[in-house]
A and B are shown apart, each in its own frame.
Chain A
Amino acid sequence: MMPWTALKVAGVLGINRRNLEFILPKNPRRAYPNVDDKLITKRLCLEADIPVPSLLAQAASPFDLKHMAPLLDGQPCFVMKPARGAMGNGTLVIRSVEHTKDGVFFVRSGGKRLTPAELWYHGSGIIAGLYSLGGRHDRVMVEELLTTHPELARLSTDGVPDIRIILYRGVPVMSMVRLPTRKALGRANLHQGAVGAGIQLHDGRTHHAVCQNEPISTHPDNGEPLIGQPIPQFARALEIAMRAADQSGLGYVGADVVVDAEKGPVILELNARPGLSIQIANRAGLAPRLEAVDRYLGAPAAQARPEALGVDERLDLGRRIAGPPG
């Protein structure tokens, strides 16, 4: 079989087609800020009672930064990050706060201790646009530090595993869990060496896993088996992803969900141009699933949005489209 036909038969969605047939018609430009700015995403989710990591503080100017200190007082741990950052750049995880006779120290996840001045400096770098797309001015947001659900924490070394769900016209069509590795420096980016494991929509279990484009069956760092693992509260994750997608106004969206030990699944962020590597992690193409959604929901409406179906029906549709195991 020619490479071309092989990809076509497998239903692999390429960048050109994703952009032209799905992102361009289904994601209106004006809805982009809803997902590019994590503070707006958070507000939209809260309006619809969708769980998100709680916001401890935010700052739009160096002046605001100074007033942040009292808000963080008494917080044992938190995450500071840019509202418009990409791929986790500029994210600072503070695991604990030490009060010593030399003053206060913020301890990073790697063990490095930061003075309040250094923390403030990092914040001003975020505001200056150091980590935002195109170097534009940005806002600092400080969120609670989530505790990964033990079931998922077991599967990864350090860092926070997250679940990526692709939704088309509000219907979940494909999902994977991204497990950080030492090689990826605790990040959940597949191209940096994190593990991607495809999740079956109907039972919430992993069925295939890849690392650096190669199929694997155990975690490269700790040897945990990666196939057939149940993802905790996966149905709930799909439900909040659907509702968040509805809020975003985007027709083709990737939702990143983290399963917190106490809160359960929360929406971390949404993405208007979700990557295509999820197909490798699932060893399945997106194209037939997206086409099936269009078939079920009828001629694509000019507008991205809901579709008369309720959340349960869409979940059902997504599971049917993704197909049973085998």
Chain B
Amino acid sequence: MTRQALYTGLILLGTSLAIFFWKVFVLDTPLRPSNPSDLWQVEFQLSARGKSERGSLRASLPATDEGQVIFDERSAADGLSFTIRDKQGTRTGIWSGVLTGVHNVVYGFRVKLGHVDIPLEGIGNTPPPADIVAAYLGDSLEFPRSEPDVVEALGRLGLPNQSDVIGRVRSITAFVVEEFAAVDTASQDALLTLARGEGSVLGKTRLLATLLRAAGVPARVTTGLTLKESEPPENTLFVEAWLDDKWLPISPVGAFFGSRPGDLLVLKKGDGSWLESTGVVASGHQIRARRERLRPEELATIMTPASPWLASVSLYRLPLSTQEALRLLLLLPLGALLVATWRNLIGILTYGTFLPVLLSLALRTTSLVLGLFLVFVVLGVGISGRIFVDRLRLLVVPRLGILMCLVVLTMTALALVGERFSERELFAGVVFPVVILTMLIERFSLTLAEEGTANALRKTGSTLLVAIAMYPVLRSELASHLMFGFPELVVGIMGLLTLLGGYTGYRLVDFRRFRSFLRAGKAEPTR
């Protein structure tokens, strides 16, 4: 190794480790993900096509309340001005300005969700205060508590007497949950739901609140989001009933009573539209959520460290979609390091230098066995196709194009087969590596022609082997957390690669290849 390479490598490695240890020991940046289950990162993406006039987008924003703490809010307003209006604990985000063309605004926040659990023993002995009564016990179009049908239905229930408030609430809930089918297309109206014996979730929610009000319990409808990992959050409507001095959460579909699940985020009071707009032709929204891997105090050390400069380069501030892309991207250097190790320390030759990395990243989205099975199917079809295409004597680029078409067709077929056997993963997993697989097929075929079947198979085997060996590393949450939380490690990897690049010692396979030199003394010919 040249001195230059040695020093460059050591300097890169040293710099990276210095920053790394400084962050770990001085700034207390957490080294491994602590995986609190109740911390989420949520992002609303609103888009609207404007009429080229003044207008606004108004979205309900969640507020810090019982069972949830909202923090680290941020918004990318896309040229609009952003304000938050807070009216009696109901928060509305307003993006306003002249709306021209398409505007995409993003609002993100972190939330710590708590499990709200209200003890039901001996509850409901205090009459509700006047302001609650005024707001949540009255008769309205949405909650027609004085309609004869409602009063009559309530009468038929045979409720426990007035002193057992919680017993009354239970009976009414059981009635709504069990007697009314939830049908998405059915009515959203409380009376129609009551009359027909079925209603939409909103219809059931309103009916429950109406019946509770009719029974003298203040009630309101609340809109929430059930957060899920790797799936869009699900809209969740529920009723809150005032008992003593608390709002008791009740699911109209029997999902919970008196306690709120730990993944339910309260978005707004009431059941009105979550997103409103003026001056726009059309608008839409998308909500993403991701479970946070760090505890709030750990996040705080990352987000608000001693130096504001350091805070500004923290990747945790980026929009969620960018964060996810970066998490993947930052794994690539790790893959490069692994490939270089395999090649120059161990000596296993693979197709294409970084093909195993890409393959491994592709396998990452499916389970290993299924992923490998898919790779084998696609490779098998591709290689047989290639053998046929070979006979046609075509130029290289059109030939590769045909192979890619074959790979796409195979995947289409797999999607159909997968749907049939309800194995959607069959498709989802393999969209990414079309190009990778095409290249693998081409390389395989060339090796087949140049070095024979045995060598082609051996090289395919070692390519897959390296990809499989890399799989656990690239899938590990620790690796993802480390590379994302400490991007300076990439510099360290560059340092290691420099050192590896200057390594003139033996590879592991050399010891096998030159094993005759390892035998003691001068070997005598055996034949």
Contact = CB atoms under 8 A, between A and B. Distances in A.
Q: Is B one of A's binding partners? A: yes
Contacts of A216: 525-527
A215 B507 contact: no
A281 to B, nearest CB: 10
Interface in A84-102: 86-87, 89
A20 B517 contact: no
A131 B449 contact: yes
A89 B450 contact: yes
A17 B505 contact: yes
Interface string A1-43: 0011011001010111100110000000000000000000000
B510 interface: yes
Contacts of B446: 134-135
A279 B510 CA distance: 12
A128 interface: yes
A279 B513 CA distance: 11
Contacts of B507: 14-16
B527 A220 contact: yes
B441 to A, nearest CB: 13
A16 B503 contact: yes
Interface in B397-455: 446, 449-451
Nearest to B508: A3
Interface residues of B, number: 30
A14 B513 CA distance: 10
Contacts of A210: 516
From B393, B503, B516, name the one whose CB has the most chain A CB atoms within 10 angstroms: B516
Contacts of B505: 4, 14, 16-17
A215 B502 contact: no
Given A16-B503, A17-B505, A124-B393, A213 B526 contact: no
B87 interface: no
Contact of B511 (A7, A21, A86, A220): A7
B101 interface: no
A279 B524 contact: no
A135 B516 CA distance: 36
From A15, A87, A213, name the one whose CB has the most chain B CB atoms within 10 angstroms: A15
Nearest to A15: B507
A290 interface: no
B130 interface: no
Interface in B489-503: 502-503
A8 to B, nearest CB: 8
Interface in B466-520: 502-507, 510-511, 513-518
Contacts of B1: 20
B449 A213 contact: no
Contacts of B450: 86-87, 89, 131, 133
A6 B517 CA distance: 7
A258 interface: no
Contact of A15 (B347, B515, B522, B526): B347
B388 to A, nearest CB: 15
B154 to A, nearest CB: 82
B141 interface: no
Interface in A198-226: 209-210, 213-218, 220
A16 B1 CA distance: 11
A214 B522 CA distance: 13
Contacts of A128: 393, 395
Nearest to A8: B506
Given A12-B510, A124-B393, A215 B526 contact: yes
A210 to B, nearest CB: 7
A7 B514 contact: yes
A283 B510 contact: no
B344 interface: yes
Contact of B525 (A14, A16, A215): A215
Contact of A16 (B395, B504, B516, B524): B504
Nearest to A125: B393
B499 to A, nearest CB: 12
A121 to B, nearest CB: 9
Contact of A89 (B449, B502, B516, B526): B449
B500 to A, nearest CB: 9
B527 A217 contact: yes
Contacts of B524: 215
A125 B516 CA distance: 41
Contact of B396 (A15, A129, A215, A279): A129
Contacts of A283: 516-517, 522-523
A280 interface: yes
Given A16-B503, A125-B393, A134-B446, A217 B525 contact: yes
B506 A7 contact: yes
B349 to A, nearest CB: 10
Contact of A17 (B504, B514, B522): B504
Contacts of B517: 6-7, 10, 12, 279-280, 283, 285
Given A10-B517, A15-B510, A214 B504 contact: no
Contact of A3 (B347, B518, B522, B526): B518
Contact of B526 (A7, A14, A124, A214): A214
Interface in A130-154: 130-131, 133-135
A227 interface: yes
Nearest to B454: A192
Contact of A280 (B449, B511, B516, B525): B516
Interface of B: 1, 344, 347, 393, 395-396, 446, 449-451, 502-507, 510-511, 513-518, 522-527
30 contacts: A3-B511, A4-B511, A7-B511, A7-B514, A10-B517, A12-B510, A12-B514, A14-B505, A14-B506, A14-B510, A15-B347, A15-B507, A16-B344, A16-B503, A16-B504, A17-B504, A20-B504, A124-B393, A131-B450, A133-B450, A213-B513, A213-B515, A214-B516, A215-B526, A216-B525, A218-B527, A227-B525, A279-B517, A280-B514, A285-B517
Given A16-B506, A124-B393, A133-B450, 8 more contacts: A6-B518, A7-B510, A20-B502, A87-B451, A128-B395, A209-B525, A213-B516, A279-B514
Closest 7 pairs (CB-CB, A-B): A217-B525, A17-B504, A14-B506, A10-B517, A215-B525, A216-B527, A14-B510
